[in-house]
């Protein structure tokens, strides 16, 4: 990879993630650097976790511990390591008051410093059932503001996704990539393990308006509503002008399926069904961060009936139906659901 931006273009490709985060503070004379510091800590976690993920097979860390987490999933060693890494690193600089992890029942207090104004929600290792078979996994995070001077409480985390200050994810795929937004542009940084840095590789990511591709677990089709079944039949009907039949892609790791959808377009859906009437994915750790990213990139994210970012969470581990992707693809499914 050539890290020198071409002199004839204003592109910032090649910028390090650290510089990008620092630049975010520049031009804001009253910025104290706490938010910048927090984002740097998250980037540090991404490096530490990627180092562990890349050595997973060799280091003999695969396999179940035998524990079951609060949402009923089996916990793997890498999940625990990623979880502990995030809590440990976030607790170091006294800017993060508390964290909420998909792996833990309740929040963990990290600092009572008056400078600890931020809260971080995260899924430390998404797609953990794919670890053992060497398929892409990821880390998802969102940053919220604690808007009172006291100790962080669970209620502080129960804010609609539109109040996120930043969201992002790390995909441990054929390379490791860190994708982040503070609600405006969405940028992707690719990790160069020989240098130990993330470099801007995908500047200002925009979700295409439409793409003939869909991502859904069709194994659940018997449990779907009639409207969903009709949509599923419609996308498979040959119709050249509209690009149908659409092609299917499904990894079973949200980070991987959403990442592909963000870059290529199309639709990802984990809808409500008879087995999971509230959906399967978690509002705080999965749906909100991705909804924030997709909207910032010009795409959209809905439950089927409402915009994800408007939902008022009522509990930390709340599940929600999630449909996200290109505006036109999502509108097509919405049309069927509203019939």
Active-site residues, by number, are 73, 79, 102-103, 123, 125-126, 286
Query: C-beta of 216: minimal distance to ligand AFP in Å?
Result: 8
Query: C-beta of 161: minimal distance to ligand AFP in Å?
Result: 17
The neighbour count for residue 277, using CB atoms within 10 Å, is 10
Query: C-beta of 302: minimal distance to ligand AFP in Å?
Result: 16
Residue closer to ligand AFP, measured from CB, 119 or 281? 281
| C-alpha–C-alpha distance, residues 274 and 113, integer Å | 46
The b-or-e profile of 264-273 (16+ CB within 10 A means b, else e) is ebbbbbbbbb
Q: Rounded to 5 degrees, what are φ and ψ at 65?
A: -90, -15
Query: C-beta of 142: minimal distance to ligand AFP in Å?
Result: 15
Q: Is 82 helix (H, G, I), strand (E, B) or coil?
A: helix
Residue closer to ligand AFP, measured from CB, 96 or 281? 281
Residue closer to ligand AFP, measured from CB, 110 or 254? 254
- Report how far apart, in Å, the C-alpha atoms of 73 and of each of 87, 220, 221 are: 20, 18, 22
Query: C-beta of 334: minimal distance to ligand AFP in Å?
Result: 20
Query: C-beta of 219: minimal distance to ligand AFP in Å?
Result: 7
Q: Which of 266, 271, 258 is nearest to 220 (CA)?
A: 271
10 Å CB burial of residue 25 (0-12, 13-18, 19+) is middle
Q: Which two tokens stand for residue 248?
A: 């299917």
Q: Rounded to 5 degrees, what are φ and ψ at 317?
A: -105, 25
Q: Which of 106, 87, 98, 97 is nearest to 41 (CA)?
A: 87
Residue closer to ligand AFP, measured from CB, 20 or 294? 294
Residue closer to ligand AFP, measured from CB, 130 or 176? 130
Interface positions with ligand AFP (CB under 6 A): 73, 126-129, 217, 252-254, 257, 270, 280-281
Q: Rounded to 5 degrees, what are φ and ψ at 154?
A: -55, -40
Q: How far apart are the first and last CA of the chain?
A: 49
Residue closer to ligand AFP, measured from CB, 71 or 204? 71
Q: Which of 102, 135, 77 is nearest to 252 (CA)?
A: 135
């Amino acid at each position: 990879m050539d890290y020198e931006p071409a002199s004839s273009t204003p592109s910032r490709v090649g910028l390090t993630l650290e510089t990008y985060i620092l630049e975010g503070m520049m031009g804001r004379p009253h910025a104290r650097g706490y938010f910048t510091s927090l984002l740097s800590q998250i980037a540090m976690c991404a490096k530490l976790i990627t180092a562990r993920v890349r050595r997973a097979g060799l280091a003999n860390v695969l396999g179940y511990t035998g524990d079951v987490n609060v949402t009923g999933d089996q916990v793997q060693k890498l999940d625990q390591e990623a979880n502990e890494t995030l809590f440990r690193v976030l607790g170091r600089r006294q800017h993060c008051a508390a964290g909420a992890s998909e792996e833990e029942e309740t929040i963990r207090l990290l600092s009572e410093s008056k400078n600890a104004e931020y809260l971080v929600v995260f899924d430390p290792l998404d797609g953990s059932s794919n670890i053992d078979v060497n398929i892409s996994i990821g880390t998802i995070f969102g940053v919220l503001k604690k808007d009172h001077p006291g100790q962080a409480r669970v209620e502080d985390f129960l804010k609609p996704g539109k109040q996120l200050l930043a969201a992002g994810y790390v995909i441990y795929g054929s390379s490791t990539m860190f994708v982040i937004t503070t609600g405006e542009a969405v940028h992707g940084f690719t990790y160069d393990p020989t240098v130990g840095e993330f470099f801007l590789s995908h500047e200002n990511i925009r979700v295409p308006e439409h793409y003939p591709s869909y991502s859904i677990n069709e194994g659940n089709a018997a449990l779907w509503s009639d409207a969903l079944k009709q949509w599923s039949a419609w996308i498979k009907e040959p119709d050249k002008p509209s690009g149908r039949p659409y092609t299917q892609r499904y990894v079973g790791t949200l980070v991987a399926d959403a990442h592909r959808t963000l870059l290529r377009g199309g639709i990802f859906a984990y809808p409500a069904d008879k087995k999971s009437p509230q959906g399967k994915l978690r509002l705080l750790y999965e749906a909100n961060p991705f909804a924030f990213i997709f909207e910032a990139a010009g795409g959209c994210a809905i439950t089927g009936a409402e915009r994800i970012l408007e939902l008022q969470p009522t509990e930390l581990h709340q599940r929600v139906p999630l449909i996200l992707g290109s505006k036109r693809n999502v509108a097509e499914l919405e049309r069927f659901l509203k019939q």
